[in-house]
Structure 1
Amino acid sequence: MSIHLCVSFPGHERVLGGRRHSFLEKTSASLNQWRISCGSFPSSITNFRRPYTSVMVVPTGVGASIGGFAGDALPVARTIASVVDCLISHPNVLNAAMLYWPLPNVLYVEGHALDRFAQGSWALQPVHRNKVGLVLDAGIEEELRIRHLQVADATRASLGLPVVEYIVTDTPLQVEKWVDPRSGQSTGRIQHPDSLLRAVHTLVNHSQVNAIAVLGRFPDDDVEEMEDYRQGKGIDLLAGVEAVISHLIVKEFQIPCAHAPALSPLPLTLSLCPRSAAEEIGYTFLPCVLAGLSNAPQYVAKDSGTSNQGCILASDVDSVVIPIDACGGEGILAFARGLRHKPLIIAVEENQTVLDDTPDKLGIKAVKASNYWEAVGIIAAHKAGVDPNSLRRNGINNIRSFSASHCNGYIASNSV
């Protein structure tokens, strides 16, 4: 690639020969030498600042306007990741059934682990790769099981993913799902959790895997029950119990885990919302799960005796992005009420859920963004060390006076 330096001389703008041409050559050479000696400008700045870390949360199964469907919050995550140095998010944001997007500066963290991280109990240890084990529900029919094993082999051969071994549970898990009538969010249970834990224990202890993908046989939905979701309305009926399954494993084994449901394909519809379409392009949700788990960070408990060197801590988080009415989760409350370090909480008004946990109701100090466009701008300003309010007309008021107060037995007063 050639670089052209153009210099205008008063009255001689078109003259490039003789001494003036020689001057251009010398100037160009000087610029190149300056670049060589100083390095790239962005890298020089980075050397003097610690990495900027952001957390993006969209709770599972709460009907979020953005992030409540088939990976429809992934574009937001991609955009934020281009602005920050490190983005921490969870499967509900990053999974899109057969679709996924490799993001080298994004950490794929299960929801329970994200809560423990926010509370300071666990640290996140980035890795180059994990050994992923696959647990298959014994309730999956043979043909559907074979198809999903072929999916796992495809990710190994075509993506090079380290999926090393699978096991079938000794008893069908019998997944049940429903909508909580009080909160309006989806939830559920598995009838035989012990069978699932035994299968995971075998893979962890005999195959030395350090990440787990679970494939549970979900009851097939009545097409009419799925119609709202397929039209981009309502809530994800599968998501709530998926979280129950992954929370169970992460709490017990403290390793990365994500779940993919095994379902019979839905009949073709001519009217389908793009936000739900990722779940309609195939019979499997497994590829995004395996891709995410392949390099998900490991969880290091604070009292484990293991060094936290090289780990990311809750105190490293600079900002947290959350839907406006979903601020009541354990992790968000921990971030907002931390005694020593409080990241900037950004509540996105356009992203509404069935919940009603707003910052105002919970006493959380938050910056409200009308949409994710604004949220990205707020993050960019915050990373640059700029008060986001200074980007708004009349966003900055006159500086406040420090009122008189008692300091060590004396009256101190500062005013400007």
Structure 2
Amino acid sequence: MITNRRYELNRSDITGAAELLERIETAFDEPALRWYVSEADQDRVVVESTEYGGELPRTAPGRNPARSGKDVVVSLVPTGIGCSIGGYAGDAAPATALLAEVADLVVTNPNAVNASNFIRIDERVLYTEGSCIDAFSRGETNLHRARGNRVGLIIEKSDAASVEHILNVTNAVRAVHGVDVVDYVVTEEPIGSRCVRNASGAYVGSVDSPDVLLKASRQLIERGANAIAVTTNVQDLVTDDYSAHFSGNEANPVGGVEAIISHLIVKVLGVPAAHAPMINFKDLALDQAVVDARSAGEIVSTSGLACILIGLAGAPQMRSDIGGARLSDELTMDDVVAVVAPAGALGGVPVLEALSRRIPVIAVRGNDTILDVTADRLGLPGVVEVSTYPEAAGVIAALRAGISLDSLVRPMRTLGRSE
């Protein structure tokens, strides 16, 4: 059973990021697959969560190897909250590529670069599922750079024409990109992925039959897969909302359920995972022939599958003993020089963990969301606010060079002088 819940916490006695994180993560009725702060003010913190009624493996701290020597940036682009940069179809790829130019490696969410038939990604960008980023931020797992993952594909029970199209997409990715798709499973029963909209307006999701999803994942792992791609027919999609999304005026209604599916697989089985709609909903109530540019990758693609197969081929692994993957650098939070996030969506694990570890957090005001969970509203000191991703790149360059940010702005504080 997967359930979406909402909690209100009294924040009068909460001081600092570490205490806020602890209070949130002890509030849930059942293990949380995904959560975020949806509202905050001086009196309360509102948390929206998606929880799983089954058992999740217990996590233990990852081992602590020597620093990798790589400067890593974690760039967060949460799905389902209407990010103006990254909330559509791969439209955060240019910003991600820019950050990769000023860092050795960028860890980012799949939806930052996913665009159905299109994806912009290179070896400096680590295609990392959201719950894996959370576990990495907590120090529960390290990230092992991988080349040539063995991808298993789950196809939800569907009509023959849809399954045949998915197989053609898969074979095209194998032939053109050389992705190793070891096998596929067409489920005997529907998985039942559904769009859900929370009170905040953010989109989350639910799954009718998580056991069907996990059974198919295990079958593919037994056949040699070490990464899982899932494609389903997403249900309960409100046509007007999706049409507004293509116009650039609405969060992506599908993003939330995609995150829940991948979070479940990653948390239970410990392998990289990603979800894509089997057939894109591009014919639903579109009132214009040319859609918002940020959605164009989706509108010209029949299925959402190709990009996740390509992305999963190089997704980082969570374990060093995983079979069938060539692993290189092992990364820990000690390698992270900064976490970058939309300025209005700072209420999540990576940001709060980074602040508690004194890792700089760069909040980008220009990446608007439907939320207003800012550093001021959360009472989080020390967040570096910038207007744009180019400005964020400049901050990262300064951090890597050991240049104090105070020395780059005016007026500059003078030590020993009264103001």
- The bucket for the TM-score relative to the shorter chain is 0.7 to 0.9
| Shift in Å, 1:220 | 7.5
Q: Which amino acid aligns with 1:246?
A: S
1:57 is aligned to 2:76: yes
1:132 is aligned to 2:132: no
| Shift in Å, 1:223 | 4.4
Identity of aligned residues (%): 37
Moved more, 308-317 or 236-245: 308-317
Q: 1 CA distance for matches of 2:140 and 2:402?
A: 29
Q: State the Cα RMSD in Å.
A: 2.1
Check conservation: 2:242, 2:250, Cα contact below 8 A. Answer: no
State the partner residue of 1:212: 228
| Shift in Å, 1:391 | 2.5
SS at match of 1:127: strand
Q: Could you say if the C-alpha distance between residues 257 and 224 of structure 1 is closer, same or farther in structure 2, counting changes exceeding 3 Å? A: same
Check conservation: 2:280, 2:303, Cα contact below 8 A. Answer: no
1:161 is aligned to 2:173: no
Equivalenced residues, count: 342
**TM-score, with normalisation over the residues of structure 2?**
0.78
**Match for 1:379 among 387, 396, 404?**
396
1:178 is aligned to 2:199: no
State the partner residue of 1:98: 117
State the partner residue of 1:233: 249
State the partner residue of 2:169: 151
SS at match of 1:333: helix
State the partner residue of 1:337: 356
Check conservation: 2:151, 2:312, Cα contact below 8 A. Answer: yes
Q: Which amino acid aligns with 1:214?
A: V
1:199 is aligned to 2:216: yes
Check conservation: 1:265, 1:282, Cα contact below 8 A. Answer: no
| Shift in Å, 1:330 | 1.6
Q: 1 CA distance for matches of 2:177 and 2:320?
A: 31
Q: How does 1:37-52 map to 2 (within 5 A)?
A: 50-52=69-71
State the partner residue of 2:17: none
| Shift in Å, 1:369 | 0.2
| Shift in Å, 1:361 | 2.4
Check conservation: 1:88, 1:107, Cα contact below 8 A. Answer: yes
User: Could you say which structure has the larger radius of gyration?
Assistant: 1
Moved more, 226-235 or 308-317: 308-317
Check conservation: 1:123, 1:299, Cα contact below 8 A. Answer: yes
SS at match of 1:315: helix
Q: How does 1:233-252 map to 2 (within 5 A)?
A: 233-252=249-268
State the partner residue of 1:66: 85
SS at match of 2:118: coil
State the partner residue of 2:6: none
Q: How does 1:354-365 map to 2 (within 5 A)?
A: 354-364=370-380, 365=382
Contiguous gaps of at least 5 residues in structure 1 = 1-48, 303-307, 402-416
Q: 2 CA distance for matches of 1:118 and 1:127?
A: 19
Moved more, 54-63 or 270-279: 270-279
1:167-218 CA distances to partner (integer Å, 9 max, x unpaired)? Answer: 011210122112112x21001111111011000011112x111000000111
1:353 is aligned to 2:372: no
Q: Could you say if the C-alpha distance between residues 130 and 301 of structure 1 is closer, same or farther in structure 2, counting changes exceeding 3 Å? A: closer
Q: 2 CA distance for matches of 1:301 and 1:102?
A: 23
Check conservation: 2:146, 2:328, Cα contact below 8 A. Answer: no
| Shift in Å, 1:363 | 3.0
Q: 1 CA distance for matches of 2:404 and 2:238?
A: 51
1:23-53 CA distances to partner (integer Å, 9 max, x unpaired)? Answer: xxxxxxxxxxxxxxxxxxxxxxxxxx93221
State the partner residue of 2:407: 390
Q: Could you say if the C-alpha distance between residues 106 and 84 of structure 1 is closer, same or farther in structure 2, counting changes exceeding 3 Å? A: same
Q: 2 CA distance for matches of 1:241 and 1:223?
A: 16
1:145-187 CA distances to partner (integer Å, 9 max, x unpaired)? Answer: 1101111101111111111110011210122112112x21001
Check conservation: 1:213, 1:289, Cα contact below 8 A. Answer: yes
Q: Could you say if the C-alpha distance between residues 170 and 349 of structure 1 is closer, same or farther in structure 2, counting changes exceeding 3 Å? A: same
1:224 is aligned to 2:240: yes
State the partner residue of 2:293: 274
Contiguous gaps of at least 5 residues in structure 2 = 1-67, 322-326
Check conservation: 2:126, 2:315, Cα contact below 8 A. Answer: yes
Check conservation: 1:220, 1:263, Cα contact below 8 A. Answer: no
Q: Which amino acid aligns with 2:227?
A: A
**Structure with the bigger percentage of strand:** 2
